[in-house]
Amino acid sequence: DGGITQSPKYLFRKEGQNVTLSCEQNLNHDAMYWYRQDPGQGLRLIYYSQIVNDFQKGDIAEGYSVSREKKESFPLTVTSAQKNPTAFYLCASSIDTELIKPQHFGDGTRLSIL
C-alpha cells in the first residue's frame, strides 16, 4: 500500500535536546511538507521541499531544521532553540507543487516536553 509513514507516534524531548521526526513516503511524490498543529488550531507550515536536495522555510521555521537527501525521506529536527515544541507534527506529500494536486498526510507524531 502506498502512503506516508511517520515515526515515532509519540516522542518526548528533554531540555536542551534535539530530536528528529521521521517521514517516509512511497508514493513517488516530488514535494514534501512539514506542518505543526496546536490544540484547536489549524496547521501551520514549517518547511517544504519541492525536489531532492532543496527545501524552503515555511511560516514558522525558527527552531527547526530539515534535510531532503532522498526523494522518499524528509526528516524534521526540532532543535533546542525551539522553546515551545509541544505539538502534533504532520508530514505531507504531493505529486508535485502544482497547485491543482491534493496533499496527502501521514498519521502524525505527538511531541511533548519531559
Partner 1 sequence: KQEVTQIPAALSVPEGENLVLNCSFTDSAIYNLQWFRQDPGKGLTSLLLIQSSQREQTSGRLNASLDKSSGRSTLYIAASQPGDSATYLCAAHDSSYKLIFGSGTRLLVRP
Q: Which residues bind partner 1 (CB under 8 A)?
A: 4, 6, 31, 40-45, 48, 50, 56, 58-59, 90, 92, 97, 99-100, 102-108, 110
Q: Which is nearer to partner 1, 44 or 80 (CB)?
A: 44
Strand partners, 31: 94
Q: Which is nearer to partner 1, 85 or 106 (CB)?
A: 106
User: Could you tell me if 63 and 83 are in contact, meaning their C-beta atoms sit under 8 angstroms apart?
Assistant: yes
Q: Which is nearer to partner 1, 35 or 78 (CB)?
A: 35
C-alpha distance from residue 97 to each of 48, 58, 66, 112 (Å): 10, 14, 18, 31
